[in-house]
Amino acid sequence: MTVVRTSPPAKLNLFLEIPARRDDGYHEIDTVMVAIDWRDELEIEPIPQGRIELTASWLPSVESIAGELGLDTSDGRVPELLRIPTDGSNLVVRALDAFRATFGVKTGFRVRLGKRIPAGAGMGGASSDAAHAISCAAQIHQIDNSSRVLHEIAASIGSDVPFFLGGGGPESAVAARATGRGERLLPLQICPLIHFVVAYPSVSLSTAGVYAQLNVPQHPVGSASFLQAMDREDRESMGRAMMNRLSEPALKILPQLSELLESLWQCGLQPCQLTGSGSACFGIAKDAEQAKDIVKRLKTELQPGVLLRVARTVPAATPIEIEPS
Ligand SMILES: C[C@](O)(CO)[C@H](O)COP(=O)(O)OP(=O)(O)OC[C@H]1O[C@@H](n2ccc(N)nc2=O)[C@H](O)[C@@H]1O
Ligand SMILES: Nc1ncnc2c1ncn2[C@@H]1O[C@H](COP(=O)(O)OP(=O)(O)OP(=O)(O)O)[C@@H](O)[C@H]1O
């Protein structure tokens, strides 16, 4: 049986405006997302049984992630914040079930999911896992990865999922503009290499809950200035045009996020902002060296209590390794 492996990346929203509320419970968004090298690990093999068997664990270990977050594991139980569902509520299971139903696949998949990306962070970890699971299943069943149908399956699982399919081309874009509810994608050919410091506090936010607290702006800001700056690789103008309309509702729910943003800013990261619906925040560093130094310094100030990582832009769709056995 063939085993396929890949490493789903997280995303950051550099620009996120929300021009309108829709009648179907969603919002029209205008966002520019980049993928970053904070990655989960996914291993999928076909099995004759017609079901999805998923196992999931934290990498390098639940104890080490819990330690950084200041969560207690002394009773041997996984802390609530780090529980990973392995039933039908996991987006990987939902995506693979939708794949089987769409293509009439009677056999199933065994999946091992290694998590590094926190959930409810606005980093799209679950969405990326789901998109990469779809790509792996397509590889196993020799379905063209650029198929429109795969994009439709992805969009049915979640608004952020199609971004991580990467358009199916050989060279996936690092950045894309997403509109509609997030599923209409324009891959961006030019994106400078950006180094980030990303910080996840010991708390998750519900995407639906944050959207529910949003006051839709009367005069939405267009993404044109940000996109033009990106096209010119003009980092200063990009920085000035960055924004996230969900910051206000997220900070209303979790006021302590402003302290985290302040800590990033005080270290010289600029600009600093929430990603997606939070709770993770990020700041842009001048280079890899500065990002590394800042993470080292912030660890002494903020840990335990905050996961801190350096990250840089990478292609949204990660290649799949095939191991025939
Ligand atoms: C905040 C972002 O991460 C920005 O990229 C996305 O807009 C959220 O995308 P996502 O997590 O894939 O969200 P979904 O799973 O599709 O939707 C979760 C919930 O978020 C709200 N939602 C999501 C996307 C959207 N365009 N409008 C919304 O109002 C809805 O209440 C929806 O029920
Ligand atoms: N593959 C997965 N990995 C982790 N959590 C998952 C997965 N699939 C479903 N979940 C559940 O989904 C919930 C929401 O987490 P999700 O991962 O969607 O947030 P996120 O990846 O940060 O995305 P968003 O950008 O929407 O905030 C979690 O509380 C978790 O229980």
Domain 1-325 = CATH 3.30.230.10: yes
- Distances from the Cα of 80 to the Cα of 94, 175, 209, 256, angstroms: 22, 33, 19, 20
Residue nearest to atom 24 of ligand 2 (CA): 122
Mutate to test the pocket of ligand 2, among 26, 34, 84 (most ligand atoms within 8 A of CB): 84
Instruction: Name the catalytic one among 11, 30, 40, 129.
Output: 11
Residue nearest to atom 31 of ligand 1 (CA): 208
Catalytic residue at 23? no
pLDDT at 323: 85
User: Which of these, 203, 156, 162, lies nearest to 182 by C-alpha position?
Assistant: 162
pLDDT at 128: 98
Residue 67 in marked binding region: no
Residue 166 in marked binding region: no
pLDDT at 170: 59
pLDDT at 146: 82
Catalytic residue at 72? no
Residue nearest to atom 10 of ligand 2 (CA): 90
| Ligand 1 midpoint to CA 269 (Å) | 28
Residue 255 tokens read as 């006021």
Ligand 2 nearest atom to the CA of residue 115, by list position: 3
Residues framing ligand 2 (Cβ under 6 A): 84-85, 89-92, 115, 119-127, 129, 160, 207, 276-277
Report angle CA 206, 212, 217 to the nearest 5 degrees.
Answer: 125
Instruction: Name the catalytic one among 30, 40, 129, 160.
Output: 160
Residues framing ligand 1 (Cβ under 6 A): 13, 16, 25-27, 29, 31, 122, 124, 127, 158-160, 181-182, 207-208, 211, 276-277
pLDDT at 325: 63
pLDDT at 319: 86
Residue 294 tokens read as 């800042």
Tell me how far apart the alpha carbons of residues 131 and 95 are, in angstroms, rounded to a whole number. Answer: 8
Report angle CA 61, 51, 208 to the nearest 5 degrees.
Answer: 60
pLDDT at 145: 82
Cβ-Cβ contacts under 8 Å for 79 (sequence gap 6 or more): 66, 69, 71, 72, 73
Residue 129 tokens read as 């896992």
| Ligand 2 midpoint to CA 86 (Å) | 12
Mean pLDDT, each 10-residue run in order, the chain (325 residues): 93 98 97 98 97 98 97 95 98 98 97 98 98 96 90 97 80 92 94 96 97 98 97 95 98 98 98 98 98 98 98 93 80
pLDDT at 314: 96
